[in-house]
Structure 1
Amino acid sequence: MTAATIRASEPPSPPEPGLTPAEVITRAETIAPTLVPRQAETERRTYYAQDTHEAFAAAGFYRILVPRRYGGYEFGIDTFLRVSTALARGCPSTAWMFCLGATHALPVASLFGERAQAEVFRGGDFICPATIMPSGSAKRTPDGGWELNGTWKYCSGSPYATHFLGHALVPGADGAPPSPMLFIAPRSAFRRLDDWGGQLGLKGSGSHSIVIENGRIPEHFAFPGTHMSEVDTAEGTPGSRLHGNPEYGGGPLSFMLLEVASLAVGMAQGALDAYEELMRSRTTMFPPVVTRAEDPDYQFWYGEAAGLITTAEAAVRQAVQQWRDLCAAGPGAFTREQDLRIATICREVLRLCWRAVEGQLFPTAGSSAVRHGERIERVWRDMSALHSHAGIGVLLRSVTTRELARARFGIA
């Protein structure tokens, strides 16, 4: 065997082999303030700029969750979510688009087999929007693969996507209702519609629709009868066995909600930053006329919001640690009940952040500070849009809450 053959068989190295999680987080914290003055531009474009995308790639953000054997950094969810929080503090739309595009390296590396992973991760940088709502159709092809047709809405991260992770409907046999099929499609199989930006908030999140017309994917890119949020990882996953990393075997539902909770914390922190600037620069309306920072009422409103947001941040970090501890304990530890329990922590994180922004900061910032395009107004709009997400407003608020009780009491 030649030296060239040996090198060819070795796993690829990431661009910066010595990069650490702390350095990646610091890069996100450094970039975040530069996103603030570009928020209006990002909303008009409906996604973040090409140079921002290139900066994220250079910083290694798109490889945080990609397995090392495919040239990723495999830093884990703690690093990824802290980067997402930092970016959300600067621009919620940018962070939402980044997070919901790059995050799906984790479920892909967890659920798909070695052959599929080797193909989808070979580019290194991995951006893969996903939707949980089944749409379109899938039918078998003569070679055993699948033909996909349909339109999938709310595909956050689609402008720079390398892949798409979705659910299609497979016709049932003998008149049975259709069943969902989880699939992954390469960029060559789909196109993006220019249909985003008219919503109340998150206008720059790149959440466009994706269309697939007679798209072909191989059999190993699909899981008939599977929905990503309901995958049972109690017996282990292909990814945890392939990579020897237990985080590729964690609960998929709770991880999806940890993403949104982490983004909400960053959004609320950004609103508090803007409110602090007002505290320092503006005076009270009624005598005695002093800076807002000197006024007892503004001190109370600021302190109340800061406490809520700090508690939310502590809760989400503890939830992340619980998620990681359950992964480390082995496949049997991450039961459906545990998955749902962490999901309910995320529910409370979202409530705390919303109470801070909607209840304390927005109504007391002043009418000039909540005009269209002002930072606090934008965070309020973005968090309002966040709450309209089906996974937050419906699944987390009601379905997940009931499912936790059912899992606890063994009720099917």
Structure 2
Amino acid sequence: MTVTAIVPAQGFPPPPEPDLTPADVIARAEALLPLLVEQRAAAEERTYYSAEVHEEFRKAGFYRLLVPARFGGYEFSVQTFMRVVVTLARGCPSTAWMFCLGAVHAVAAATLFDERAQEEIFAGGEFIAPATVIPSGTLAKVPGGWVLDGTWPYCSGSPYATHFMGHALLFPEDGSDPRPVLFVIPRDQWTRLDDWGDQLGLKGSGSHSIAIAGQTIPEHYLLDTHLSMYEVSEDTPGVRLHANPMYGGGPMSFMMFESAVLAVGMAQGALDSYAELMRTRTTSFPPIVPRTEDPDFQLWFGEATGRIATAEAAVFDAMRQWTELAEQGPSAFTKEREWRIATICRETIRLAWTAVEKYLFPTAGSSSVRRGQHVERVWRDMSMMQSHAGIAVVLNTMANRELAWAHFGIPDPHAA
């Protein structure tokens, strides 16, 4: 695995541990699992992970993993970051979701915004920015910038965020159709609402709404694009600034990795708990034997293991494909290739969900799915995932049509 040399830009210090390696941060994630397990219930009650966990993530370097080296980050690979996410999800799904959907957007910020904006955005070295894809609020042009007003829901990662990345609708002066624009805004210009925690699952994911009241952002904090639909090109600021293809890859397919690796990690955690139940409990009906010796439990464990292992292999191979395409250059990211990677992520989620919903949850035993038990929590969290628009709508319906249109050269009937 290649490790990027740490060469900070003028005026930016190197990260706290210039010699840190991908293996180090993965080992640190594994070492934190007991703490995440201990605090799972408290995270749900609080609706986000604790200040103690946040500080451990900071010390581990997690909030710098995808930040460009020139701004004091580690600039590790997508695979390294996602391996950390999988590991954290084994211990606490909510914590992993909140961490991932906050820290992952360093890639988008480093890819899209110009050098001036990036120097300001990454000034602190760490970057945590929830992002939403549905436009909301109002946008008004003023000299030198834009005024934002509105509320943006489902901002996972907001409790410890340094920024927020959202979309608003821009209404052109010529009366043409409005279009979504992307903006970034610092933490001191928005308010986190106390409106999360009543959902079925992912109660501790910090997915609160963000409210912005008449705040002005400068011109260079707003881009005429959508986070999932920007044009990949040689001229992308990230490619020019960082000479790293990670900051110039396909946006839509990259976004799908997030849900896929979270699903894998959650399912792995459920499998861990199921294996412990097999070691410590017996069958309910004669012959009464340890579950480890029962053919049915062996079958259920094997079926779940195979699905989860296949899901993990698929999503990390999809990342390999994404990385290779990024290295080939922007022309390699055709629509067909992007949607093909997205469908791999969809199948990853389906395999992980089936392992839990069909094999682990029904056979763990009713005492193991009481409120607060890990298998019960994973089932709730993964059930909640199924209602996510990126999965329920984009991956389960749009992806198939888009892939077919691209493969057969059929024009998008909805395009202008």
Taking structure 2 as the reference length, the TM-score comes to 0.95
Q: AA paired with 1:302?
A: F
- Deviation of the 1:368 alpha carbon: 0.6
Matched, 1:302 2:297: no
Q: 2:9 touches 2:71 (CA, 8 Å); kept in 1? A: no
Q: 2:12 touches 2:123 (CA, 8 Å); kept in 1? A: no
Q: 1:81 touches 1:262 (CA, 8 Å); kept in 2? A: yes
List aligned pairs for 1:137-152, cutoff 5 A.
Answer: 137-143=138-144, 145-152=145-152
**Within 2, Cα distance between the matches of 1:234 and 1:404?**
21
**Within 2, Cα distance between the matches of 1:316 and 1:179?**
32
List aligned pairs for 1:3-402, cutoff 5 A.
Answer: 9=10, 11-143=12-144, 145-224=145-224, 226-402=225-401
Is the partner of 1:54 in helix, strand or coil?
helix
CA separation of 1:174/1:10 partners in 2, compared to 1, >3 Å: closer, same or farther? closer
Bigger share in helix:
1
**Within 2, Cα distance between the matches of 1:410 and 1:150?**
40
**Within 2, Cα distance between the matches of 1:53 and 1:195?**
21
Q: 1:234 touches 1:333 (CA, 8 Å); kept in 2? A: no
- Deviation of the 1:236 alpha carbon: 4.6
Task: Output the aligned Cα RMSD.
Answer: 1.2
- Deviation of the 1:340 alpha carbon: 1.1
Comparing 167-176 with 317-326, greater Cα deviation is found at 167-176
Q: AA paired with 2:148?
A: L
Comparing 166-175 with 340-349, greater Cα deviation is found at 166-175
- Deviation of the 1:234 alpha carbon: 4.2
Q: AA paired with 2:190?
A: F
Q: AA paired with 2:316?
A: R
Instruction: Give unpaired runs (5+ residues) of structure 1.
Output: 1-6
**Within 2, Cα distance between the matches of 1:289 and 1:15?**
56
Q: AA paired with 1:273?
A: D
Deviation readout 1:33-63 (Å, 9 max, x if unpaired): 3211211100000000001000000000000
Q: How many residues align?
A: 404
Taking structure 1 as the reference length, the TM-score comes to 0.96
Q: AA paired with 1:315?
A: A
**Within 1, Cα distance between the matches of 2:254 and 2:10?**
33
Q: AA paired with 2:259?
A: V
Matched, 1:411 2:406: no
Q: AA paired with 2:214?
A: N
Q: 1:234 touches 1:335 (CA, 8 Å); kept in 2? A: no
**Within 2, Cα distance between the matches of 1:55 and 1:221?**
30
Q: 2:165 touches 2:182 (CA, 8 Å); kept in 1? A: yes
Is the partner of 1:173 in helix, strand or coil?
coil
**Within 2, Cα distance between the matches of 1:8 and 1:394?**
41
**Within 2, Cα distance between the matches of 1:10 and 1:234?**
29
- Deviation of the 1:177 alpha carbon: 3.2
Deviation readout 1:343-392 (Å, 9 max, x if unpaired): 10000000000110000000001111011111000000000111111111
- Deviation of the 1:411 alpha carbon: 2.1
- Deviation of the 1:336 alpha carbon: 2.0
Q: AA paired with 1:157?
A: G
